[in-house]
Amino acid sequence: MSSDFIWNVRVYYEDTDAGGIVYYANYLKFFERARTEWLRAMGTNQHQLLQEHDVMFVVKSVSADYHAPARLDDVLKLTLRIEKLGRASIQFVQEAWNGEQLLNSARVKVGCVDSSLRLRTVPDAVASRMRGAA
């Protein structure tokens, strides 16, 4: 649906396990940061969304495949694209790369909810910017 958004992140000591490679769950943190920066790049501030529209995005499901390890000091290229934009949910395809090597690929589905965690429609202005990112 949309073109890839790219965000780079360096692997720090705190991101690694005892074997010196990125701990598997930290890819979810990296992908979360990429989605946040993607929203910012489109002019959408998550705090402002909550304050002005009483909506926020929460992860509903994740499916991840691990292809190769990342290590301390690697600079990872995180990519993100929308696979499907629904009325109240967004399905992303996200990947982590080290150079030309794919390290991790994931499908992440987020839902749009209000502060009581009830499902809400993605605000029109935000959905429009997401469609325009194509």
Q: Which residues are catalytic?
A: 17
Residue 75: phi and psi, rounded to 5, are: -105, 115
The Cβ of residue 88 has, within 10 Å, a number of other Cβ atoms equal to: 13
What gap in Å lies between CA 47 and CA 1, rounded to an integer? 26
The answer to whether 95 and 104 have CB atoms below 8 angstroms apart is yes
With residue 104 as reference, give the H or E element that holds it: strand 101-113
Of residues 61, 50, 44, 47, the one with CA closest to residue 116: 50
